[in-house]
Structure 1
Amino acid sequence: MAQPPSPQDTAQTVLPGAGTAGDESSDRAFLEAAAAELGVRRRAEVAELVRAAQWALRNGHPRRERDPMSTPGGDGTPSVRDHAIPELAMVRETHPASTRALMADALDLMHRLPRTWAVVVAGDCEPWVARKVAVISRGVLLDAIDIVDRAVARVIAGHAPATVLELARAKVIEADPETHAGEQEISRHKRYVAISRADEFGYRHVIARVTAGDGAWIDAMVDRVADILTLTHGHDHNRDELRSLAMGWLARPVDLLKLLIDHTDPNPGEQPAWAPDHLADTVDRLCALPARRLAALRGRGQLFVHLTDTALRSGRGVARIEGVGPIDVAQLAQVLGHCDLTVTPVLDLADRPRVDAYEHPERLKDHVWALTGGDVFPFSPRTATRDRVDFDHSTPYDVQGPPGQTGPHNSGPLRRRHHRWKTHGGYRCRVVGPGRHLWQTPNHLTYLIDQHGTHRLEDDDADIMLSAPDGVEIYLSKLTLSAEHYAS
């Protein structure tokens, strides 16, 4: 097997215009070659945008009765068959949402921002900046978009991206103030709080979109708690660490209240101006609650933790929490501490359970989820949680068919949009082994999804797997072809 190149070998690779180190003329040639490569990349990105727009044009009309159309771009751009987008995404090896965004930006630039598009085609600016302008201005109506296009086309070549995008935002407000006001109202309902996946050290980001006032008060409370924690943790924690610890206290309202009271100078007989009249009554009621009732104030949550028996016994190794990611087993106490736990039985994935009903019982869902690890649509990120997917029969359920049609041999989790594409868009799916799914697009491109990710198959290999009898697993490689019969 060929060895990967070392950093030294990579650094010594001869590039066009590289010349000899220390030679001024060769240094100039090297830099000129770098400039030329910039143009090559920009032209390639333009070609990708053109390809996406052409695919939209080829699929601009429905081909059957149930063939929904959607408009990825803004006002004045053509519609496209919704079922055609994921097929282009597969050959681009991206998620359909990324390809839909590419198509929307291409259509906006060509149909709504033609002057800006001309600068992009000439290679005089970064295509990603123009795409960002398309996103910013997507809500502007077609009869007003020219104001944005003219202004951006004048500055997009030669100005910093931040300058271009700031101008674009200003021109969007100027071009269509009524639409901008409407979008402001819509954005009021798009507030949220989200938690990122864990990084390699077990830490997560808490991301929230709140009003400016709420944000200021949350920041002030975090600062106040961090000030208090300085008394006990300040000797080996910097300010950012203390504020991070303070965020954790916000999740424990009773502990937080005690901490604040213990570190607030009492001033009997004087009620703060910000304190409502019922505050004293609320504090008295909290003091009267038993410990278990106080703990219930934190609410309930559900985490699915996967770890081996060896890691559980030794306290060393890696655990995986669904929706969080991998963490060190030693950090489980930080995640699960201060709470009541309910432990569910371990699933034996060697089993092949089946039921006769159309519905998936919960234990069967757990089994399928553990085998697949998430959404089984090609190139789909495994970030969906099990409550956000449909458990789909890969081979459609037949009410007149044989018993035992529902089980891991014929099931795969799919987000709702992916489920619709499979049901109505002409995409075929087949389970070809535990945790392995074979997909075929309307144009007969075939993809295998397994523990190694998503891989496109050659037509001959695809025919072998698609024609295999039920209950036979086919494993293909460049060197061997093997078939294993599994219990059905």
Structure 2
Amino acid sequence: MLVETMQGGWGIQVDDLDADWLVSLMEDAEVQSRQAERRKLRYAGQWCVLHPATADTGVATWAETGPEALRCDEAIGGEGTPLVAAFAAEGLGAAFQISTGAAVQLMADALNLQHRHPRIWAKVEALEVPAWRARRVAQMCAAQSAAVAAHVDAALADRMGAWGVTTIENAIATAVADLDPETVADAEDEAKAAWGVRLTHGSPRRIGVWAGTSTLEITGDTADVTALHDLICATAHQLLTDDSPWSGESLEVRKARAVGVIATQTGAGGATPVTRMYLHIDADDLADPTATGWAERLGPATVTKIRDWLAGTRATILPVLDMRRTDAVDRHDPPAWMAEQVRLRDPHCVFPWCQKDSRGCDLDHIEPYVPMDEGGPPGQTRPESLGPLCRRHHRCKTSRRWHYARNPDGTYTWTGPHGRTYLVTPTDTRLLA
């Protein structure tokens, strides 16, 4: 049954459809989805063509926008792809209403598919392969040579099954072994580049909810990681047999508790641990164990949880900050109270669709700062003249490709190089014109 939608177009009411109808509609939806994602890749590829790198523009790199493992001065496209102008991604991201990092990734995937994986790209063009699957191949091969990319392209293009990560990894490993056998002997040393420890905050079962839960991910030498896991398991077993408050917990919960026990027992020289966390709580709530405070970058926490964290640690209590202060200073760098006020006022980068935490942002003078000995006026550094910008978008603004102003209501109006204007509010970004 066809029904008119709220937007004035035509849609389909699915409540009374049988399975055969629904299967047909789902097949149509998949085709439409592939067409839409193909268009995005086409547009991104053409955007790269329209923004070639020159001596004046510089080259688009992964420096500030890529995944942590890719934050380097390498060009966004793999070996064999044309260079793209720096800061080209901002315009694309704004048009698609996505972050600059997502825009850079889309451009990189378009470049790599069109220039390094022509057979797989042909499958995308023919709607035989969904764009997301082709992009996965492009991303996993991005750091490899053009020859390896071509080898993988030939190996996977005609395999129409569901490419999994393992299939792609095996294709890459085979290509490397076939094209450069000596690198296989060095693989163990090269693998160390991926070693590291990563801490992320948030509940894995409830996206967007912190709830006092975090995840520690370790990648390292197999023997070392296995030994640590064995120690955690042994400590968890000890928590079961000892008269501990966690003896009734499940094995996995006890293993998580064991990490804290091990950390306490192996503290550096027995020194008191230091907890680095920005906690906001009303002094009147400290006596109420059911009251909640707020941990920056994390979320709400009960007074009981906060006391657990701070027990036995050193804590610095900062005085209440008057958010209404408008004092100005005659210097470039803001004083500590002003920097804190701006970061509390604007908790993330104020560039369109950017969510980088302001604690890691530069404090930018919205109007370029002019030293007083060069004729600059007094009082240029004040709360309303500053805005937090992540390093990339600070550089982008400084390059004069983008301009912005802070509005009286605390929002920001940005103008891009293609004449579009955007309104950045504390909660979202809106296209104005």
Give the alignment's TM-score, normalised by structure 1. 0.75
Which residue of structure 2 lines up, in the alignment, with residue 323 of structure 1?
297
1:417 matched to 2:420? The reply is no
Structure-2 separation of matches of 1:89 and 1:73: 17
Report the identity percentage. 27
Aligned length, in residue pairs:
401
SS of residue matched to 2:217 = strand
Change (3 A) 1:311 1:65: same
1:130 matched to 2:137? The reply is no
Change (3 A) 1:410 1:442: same
1:362-410 per-position Cα deviation (integer Å, ceiling 9, x unaligned): 221111111101222221124x362x32111111112222211112111
SS of residue matched to 1:205 = strand
Match of 1:246 among 258, 262, 266: 258
Match of 1:104 among 91, 105, 108: 108
Match of 2:383 among 389, 399, 408: 408
Structure-2 separation of matches of 1:355 and 1:398: 13
User: Do the aligned partners of 1:18 and 1:27 also contact (CA within 8 Å) in 2?
Assistant: no
Structure-2 separation of matches of 1:247 and 1:385: 30
1:297-446, aligned counterparts within 5 Å?
A: 298=273, 300-312=274-286, 314-382=288-356, 384=357, 386=359, 388-399=360-371, 400-433=375-408, 435-446=410-421
User: Do the aligned partners of 1:19 and 1:30 also contact (CA within 8 Å) in 2?
Assistant: no
Counterpart AA for 1:161: G
Structure-2 separation of matches of 1:43 and 1:175: 35
Structure-1 separation of matches of 2:14 and 2:425: 42
Which residue of structure 1 lines up, in the alignment, with residue 6 of structure 2?
none
Deviation at 1:321, TM superposition (A): 1.6
Structure-2 separation of matches of 1:181 and 1:354: 62
Structure-1 separation of matches of 2:353 and 2:284: 32
Change (3 A) 1:186 1:83: farther
1:113-192, aligned counterparts within 5 Å?
A: 113-155=117-159, 157-162=160-165, 164-177=167-180, 185=189, 187-192=191-196
Gaps of 5+ in 2: 1-9, 62-74, 204-208
Deviation at 1:179, TM superposition (A): 6.5
Deviation at 1:121, TM superposition (A): 1.5
Structure-2 separation of matches of 1:191 and 1:443: 42
Deviation at 1:322, TM superposition (A): 2.2
User: Do the aligned partners of 1:447 and 1:457 also contact (CA within 8 Å) in 2?
Assistant: yes
Structure-2 separation of matches of 1:146 and 1:338: 57
User: Do the aligned partners of 1:140 and 1:179 also contact (CA within 8 Å) in 2?
Assistant: no
Which residue of structure 1 lines up, in the alignment, with residue 430 of structure 2?
455
Change (3 A) 1:183 1:457: farther
Counterpart AA for 1:320: W
User: Do the aligned partners of 1:67 and 1:424 also contact (CA within 8 Å) in 2?
Assistant: no
Which residue of structure 1 lines up, in the alignment, with residue 232 of structure 2?
222
From the CA coordinates, give the structure whose radius of gyration is larger: 1
1:249-290 per-position Cα deviation (integer Å, ceiling 9, x unaligned): 2321358xxxxxxxxxxxxxxxxxxxxxxxxxxxxxx9xxxx
1:193 matched to 2:204? The reply is no
Change (3 A) 1:118 1:181: farther
Counterpart AA for 1:94: I
Give the alignment's TM-score, normalised by structure 2. 0.84
SS of residue matched to 1:97 = helix
Which residue of structure 2 lines up, in the alignment, with residue 480 of structure 1?
none
Structure-1 separation of matches of 2:178 and 2:139: 15
Structure-1 separation of matches of 2:191 and 2:335: 38
Which residue of structure 2 lines up, in the alignment, with residue 39 of structure 1?
31
Deviation at 1:16, TM superposition (A): 4.2
Deviation at 1:336, TM superposition (A): 2.0
Structure-2 separation of matches of 1:181 and 1:343: 54
Change (3 A) 1:197 1:455: farther
Deviation at 1:187, TM superposition (A): 4.6
SS of residue matched to 2:319 = coil
SS of residue matched to 1:82 = coil
Structure-1 separation of matches of 2:122 and 2:292: 52
SS of residue matched to 2:350 = coil
